[in-house]
Structure 1
């Protein structure tokens, strides 16, 4: 219409505006007379509506509470509590998630409901709430499990843990916004925390000897010798069976992982399913372990291959088993990664060593291998990485320490190819 700002039009004797909402053109009557002053006001109102839609902060029923465009269903969705939203989203997500991922998502959402209030309206959660929650996760106290809402003395969470929780909440509130439960995604622009890469803290040779000396029994010695000389993840060690060991060629096939207690799955990544070449110390550890578990009765376990896929049934004679030192009534047939961690902590403390996380057994293998001159690509395959890129990024320091020995190898090799040259050559003047 001539003389009317964009999106403003006359409707009878009054003005109305139109705008695009959820892909459709909608109109709202303002109920004000058509005057030049009101046209300008209507244009400003429309501009603010369009900006709110663009930035994800537009709540239709708040801006136009009497509008016929707001359905009863939309109004009821805005009354959804945080707990109801979490339950609905997880119900829809469950078929897509591995059991370990589902468990982590559930834990993250339980924390969210605890801190933000399970009865809080999902539509009432603000960007300020989201930022405060992120900061609380990073620096706040942990809560006790079993639903007890008291706090322990443990304080703070890792950047990785906080960012993983943020990722879950960004996804859930994106779903909420797209489906009309909220007018915006309060977590949309909450930034991820910058993570400083933790430097590997491997054992020295002397510390390794002390660790082994601090082990409770011979099986524990075999566990940590095998771990430090193969670099396997602890979930992979938990799932390792004698059926996976080739005792002629001395290789080990990594066929399963234990990401969640009692729930076997495929290795962490596609490249994690691999066959590794065993080093002599690892072979010796297996030979010492044979009398303890090799002749145990195989245990049938289901290996979960992914959401919606029938599990694979494996008969496993586990290489490392709690049954070696504990009765059947007191222990299971395999170690959980948490049990291996407790075994590590006991040995470290008994040996009087500075505390490190049990995962340093994996770093120890990588650092020892690289400082001994092993090919980074070979080490990457052994450890289940898709390429040597991560090896270079994480363990570059240990590779550079080997520069002189590598130079000696080159000098020795190149010396065989260099042509003989006369020692005294006169340059023509």
Structure 2
């Protein structure tokens, strides 16, 4: 009967030998143990452990095989690796932890870091002064833009803090894998920034935006975005299969990224949340049905939170570029970038002060709060796990509407009963 060996395990003379790939080359190491069933299993487990260490950057040839003839040739001192090597290793290992869109964002940030940091510099040579200098350059130097776009001077504090967060992750990874003694970013705190204040569309501006729409679909898209609080990616991924016109509800099942990848909504509390349609939403979606309801569905792969897991959804998308396309393209759905384009055109034509399209989500929250809605209910509609986010983000804005709130309470509070005149009873 032929002996079956674990992957990468073979017999060499009277001893077992393992083979593995290191730095792009296949190497073999004799273990000096006899070929027995138990030793074959141990050799297979050792090889698996070595392959994992190589993948995570923790493998040191001189530690694992100090007597090997390959030791001097193959071993890399952990302190002789470049920043670029560690950064690329970190981002590649993140691939299995995060969504595709997040992974692409990480890669993009690492490439920006390479613009400010010499990726060929040994990572153990960086000190605190180097890192603070990098942060200052990020804040003050021109942005990196395509050829046809004008560069701006400096970046926002939020952007720089985000870049520094990724840089800190890279140096933490380096410290944990002994590339460096300590993380030089450990004492650096985030730059202070003002809390972002919601900038909702006013009730005077909204009709101007509606009048600036040039087709029914753009009008319906605007109304649904403002009266549901859907994120742009959730709005673009909305399908008729998610809508119950009898119960007047929308179940938020997916999101689409700027690169066209479908995934679950941003947070677990956002996923499968049920939005109750306000009248403007119901009427707009009924009107939109005449444009897109009878189009053929598209099968899309929705990335789940577990790595490598996908779900197939059959989607008849509510908003479809092909409805208004002049170039004959049969695109079945928008991306957030497409919605941003529609929004930008509406801003220009209406003369309304510029805002990002995400403000439609803030508009929903602000309008509903001023209408007297319960903050806890608004939180569930927007996909927040608690009302704390509503109070944190919209608390200051809510104070500005105290007079409206007083009027609502006066209007809705139970009326005081008329006093009952007491009668004197003579005994």
> 1:401-420 alignment to 2 at 5 Å?
401-409=403-411, 412-416=413-417, 420=419
Cα deviations across residues 46-65 of structure 1 (Å, max 9, x unaligned)? xxxxxxxxxxxxxxxxxxxx
Matched residues, number:
349
Distance 1:315 1:81, change over 3 A: same
Counterpart CA distance in 2 for 1:264 and 1:103 is 14
Q: Give the C-alpha shift of residue 423 in structure 1.
A: 7.7
2:157 aligned with 1:155: no
Greater CA drift, 282-291 or 129-138: 129-138
Counterpart CA distance in 1 for 2:177 and 2:420 is 81
Distance 1:423 1:364, change over 3 A: farther
Cα deviations across residues 128-167 of structure 1 (Å, max 9, x unaligned)? 121122222233222135xx8x995223333332222222
> 1:14-413 alignment to 2 at 5 Å?
76-144=77-145, 152-273=150-271, 274-326=273-325, 330=329, 332-396=331-395, 397-398=397-398, 400-409=402-411, 412-413=413-414
Q: Give the C-alpha shift of residue 208 in structure 1.
A: 0.4
Counterpart CA distance in 2 for 1:203 and 1:376 is 19
Counterpart CA distance in 1 for 2:136 and 2:386 is 35
Cα deviations across residues 257-315 of structure 1 (Å, max 9, x unaligned)? 11342111111111112011000011111111111111111011010002424200001
Q: Give the C-alpha shift of residue 392 in structure 1.
A: 1.7
Q: Give the C-alpha shift of residue 216 in structure 1.
A: 2.8
Query: Normalization by structure 2: what TM-score?
Result: 0.76
Query: Normalization by structure 1: what TM-score?
Result: 0.76
Q: Which runs of 5+ in 2 are unaligned?
A: 1-70
Counterpart CA distance in 2 for 1:324 and 1:379 is 32
Counterpart CA distance in 1 for 2:407 and 2:231 is 30
Counterpart CA distance in 2 for 1:343 and 1:144 is 22
Q: Is the 8 A contact 1:82 1:113 kept in 2?
A: no
Q: What CA RMSD, in Å, does the superposition of the two structures yield over aligned residues? A: 2.4
Aligned to 2:68: none
Q: Which runs of 5+ in 1 are unaligned?
A: 1-70
Counterpart CA distance in 1 for 2:181 and 2:150 is 36
Q: Is the 8 A contact 2:98 2:307 kept in 1?
A: no
Q: Is the 8 A contact 2:145 2:151 kept in 1?
A: no
